[in-house]
């Protein structure tokens, strides 16, 4: 049987986002940051270590928290805007590459801190206060912000000494490198996926292109006889599109093409292949058909869907579809070029007899026969 190629809907893929549009962080990076945060807690004597990563919109999300379980539950997954972090860091005291938020600073705003631990400070001049915080800004080689490493709750209850701060700076460098390398790798993988997608898809409408059509026709041609089935190729040409494209603008024309492509996708079967052939022409490869009637029914659904008015920029536009369908039986040899020619011939027969209809190519004849 043919492979079950589900038609890919929508526009080009974005590897940095999940299905709901939220940015994602690779699992291996999360594991690395978890290890770094745990090491900071264990080696440097802090009760909490948290790693915030900069998101595409500039906000920062807490990706990893080690140490105090209450802090982990409160902080993990929280997001703060870049403006809030800028305010916090601006009024913080520089400690080398670190930034210390001192509770005694009158300019500090306690409300900006997303978590304040509940404890009584020790009786010492350099005691750590619940509203104190220590941050290590994480920057890329080009100076852009990658994130922020923050620590809290030193176990001895005192502000960290110089040796501890130097060690924390070293951990911050390692954390920044881990994030930057993961980001570069993710971008490279995203670009590779995009290039692969563009090789087989139309960038305007998101449906397939000629490459994917011929690939799937070749697959059908090389399938073993017992796995072959009746297939059809529907050739769709839009009636009235040139007038819209010339009279209004190419932006309007592009919107019409995108709308038509989306409508075709909604009325074909999930495993059918929709392709933009070029200009205002689309092709649909229909595999695993029970009979020719089933293929013509899909063609008729396309005609009806395309004919619905298209509303854009407070205006209404109308196009129709002339659809020609060519069939190839399970026992027939699949000749891709000949199949396209026959479907194209059937489509032009529709053009000559009134348009806005679906017609099948007559088997064995170089003409079209009406449905």
At 298, list the tokens.
Answer: 């899909």
3 state DSSP class of 78 = coil
Q: How far apart are CA 266 and CA 207, in angstroms?
A: 12
Q: How far apart are CA 81 and CA 66, in angstroms?
A: 22
- Those residues with Cβ within 8 angstroms of residue 140's Cβ, 6 or more apart along the chain or in another chain: 146, 176, 180, 183
Q: Considering 280, 314, 332, 337, which one is annotated as catalytic?
A: 280
Query: What are the helix (H) ranges across 153-249?
Result: 162-200, 210-222, 241-247
At 158, list the tokens.
Answer: 């005192």
The answer to whether 67 and 74 are in contact (CB under 8 A) is: no
Q: Is 280 a catalytic residue?
A: yes
At 366, list the tokens.
Answer: 């170089």
Q: Where are the beta strands (DSSP E) in the chain?
A: 46-54, 60-67, 79-80, 93-95, 98-101, 133-139, 145-154, 230-239, 273-278, 281-289, 310-312, 315-317, 320-328, 357-361, 368-370
- Looking only at the bridges linking them, the beta strands covering 320-328 and 357-361 are parallel
CB atoms within 10 A of CB 30: 16
Please tell me the total number of residues recorded for the chain in this structure: 371
- Those residues with Cβ within 8 angstroms of residue 219's Cβ, 6 or more apart along the chain or in another chain: 2, 3
Q: How far apart are CA 177 and CA 164, in angstroms?
A: 20
Radius of gyration of the chain from its Cα atoms, rounded to whole angstroms: 31
Q: How far apart are CA 261 and CA 170, in angstroms?
A: 54
For the chain, how many helices (H) and strands (E)?
9, 15
Q: Which residues are marked as active site?
A: 280
């Amino acid at each position: 049987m043919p492979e079950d190629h589900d038609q890919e809907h929508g526009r080009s893929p974005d590897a940095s986002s999940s299905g709901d549009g939220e940015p994602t962080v690779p699992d291996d990076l999360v594991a690395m940051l978890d290890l770094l945060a745990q090491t900071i807690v264990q080696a440097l004597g802090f009760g909490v270590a948290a790693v915030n990563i900069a998101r595409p919109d500039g906000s920062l999300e807490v990706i990893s928290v080690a140490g105090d379980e209450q802090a982990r539950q409160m902080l993990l997954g929280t997001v703060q805007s870049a403006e809030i972090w800028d305010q916090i860091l601006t009024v913080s005291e520089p400690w080398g590459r670190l930034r210390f938020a001192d509770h005694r600073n009158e300019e500090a705003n306690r409300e900006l801190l997303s978590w304040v631990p509940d404890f009584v400070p020790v009786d010492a001049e350099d005691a750590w206060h619940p509203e104190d915080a220590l941050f290590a800004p994480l920057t890329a080689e080009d100076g852009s912000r990658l994130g922020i490493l923050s620590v809290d709750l030193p176990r001895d209850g005192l502000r960290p000494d110089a040796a501890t701060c130097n060690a924390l700076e070293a951990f911050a460098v390692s954390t920044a490198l881990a994030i930057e390398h993961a980001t570069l790798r993710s971008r490279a993988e995203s670009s590779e996926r995009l290039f692969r997608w563009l090789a087989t898809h139309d960038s305007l409408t998101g449906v397939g292109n000629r490459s994917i059509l011929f690939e799937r026709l070749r697959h059908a041609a090389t399938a073993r006889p017992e796995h072959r089935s009746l297939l059809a190729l529907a050739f769709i040409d839009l009636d009235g599109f040139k007038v819209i494209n010339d009279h209004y603008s190419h932006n309007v024309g592009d919107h019409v093409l995108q709308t038509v492509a989306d409508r075709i996708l909604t009325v074909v079967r999930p495993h059918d292949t929709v392709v933009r052939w070029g200009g205002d022409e689309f092709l649909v490869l229909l595999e695993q058909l029970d009979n020719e009637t089933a293929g013509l029914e899909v063609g008729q659904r396309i005609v009806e869907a395309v004919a619905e008015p298209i509303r854009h920029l407070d205006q209404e536009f109308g196009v129709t579809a002339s659809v020609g369908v060519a069939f190839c039986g399970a026992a027939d040899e699949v000749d891709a070029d000949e199949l396209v020619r026959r479907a194209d011939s059937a489509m032009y027969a529709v053009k000559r007899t009134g348009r806005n209809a679906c017609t099948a190519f007559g088997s064995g004849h170089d003409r079209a026969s009406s449905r």
